[in-house]
Structure formats: structure tokens, C-alpha cells
Amino acid sequence: MQAQELLDRDEITRLVYRLGVVLDEGRFDEMPSIFTEDATVHTPGGLAKGRDALTAQAQRTHSPGERIQHVVGNVLIDLDGDRADVRANLVVTFATGNPPEGRLAPAPRLTLGEVYRFQAARTPQGWRLTHLRSTPIWATGSPS
């Protein structure tokens, strides 16, 4: 494997991990460093086209009144020049309530197991995600 390919794989993997952190911590102003302007996402929260729309969707489905944790793993990347297809497993947990710092949130209200499928492209600013499809596999708890 060439050094550039290793660097590309690392940068793409970091994008996937950073997306989880941005969603967990409500740092939606960082979406431009993850997605292209014309990116599309299709998740249990709906279909959104364009970075502004997908950011609004993420804000709607990731409430600041919840403790949210995205655990992403098994990231597999198929590189093809300046494009890549990516697959990852996701377990995301939502716990209602925002207890004081250092205190645990109550038991989760919802935990989802999903498969993430991304497309990524090399841009002048570095790698960015151009497409995300999240497919739920299993769930425990209630979405409401």
C-alpha cells in the first residue's frame, strides 16, 4: 500500500468518526468540514439534499436535551482515485435528560444498530462526504 493511500484512508476514517462526535456534541457548525455543499443523506430521520438541509435534519433529530453516543466501527474503505465508498457499523444510543456534569443520564430510551454507507470525494479542502445512507438493523427502546 502506498503512503498516499494510507493517508487517504486515515482522513476518510477520521471524517466518519468526527461525524459521530459532531452529532453527539451538537457541533453542527462543523458540518462543512465533513460534508460537501451538495451532499445528500438518507437516514431514519428522512432524506436531506444539500449541506444546509442535512444540518437542519441533524439538529432536529439530535436534541441538546439528550445524551447521545455514536459508536462507529469496522470502517471499510474502497478507494478509487479521488472517490471512495465507505461502510461502517453504528450503534447509537439516546438517553433523555441532561444531568449535571459528572452525573450519569438515566437509562437509554432508544438504542439503534445501523449500517452506514458513505461516498466520499477528494476536494481542494481535503476529503469530504458526499452521500450518507444509514440503514437500521435493530432497535431497543422507543423513538419517542
| Contact status, residue 109 vs residue 94, Cβ threshold 8 Å | yes
In order of 71, 101, 139, the CA distances from 37 in angstroms are: 25, 35, 31
Nearest to 84, CA basis, from 34, 13, 28: 13
Give the cell for residue 10: 486515515
* Residues 24-75: tens digit of each pLDDT: 999 999 999 999 999 999 998 899 999 999 999 999 988 877 889 999 999 9
Note the residue count of the chain.
Answer: 144
The predicted pLDDT at position 102 comes to: 78
Supply the pTM of this predicted model: 0.91
Residue 133, class by beta-carbon neighbours within 10 Å (0-12 exposed, 13-18 middle, 19+ buried)? middle
Fold category of 3-141 in CATH: Nuclear Transport Factor 2; Chain: A, (3.10.450)
State how far the Cα of 77 lies from the Cα of 31, in Å rounded to an integer. Answer: 21
Sequence ranges of the domains in the chain: 3-141
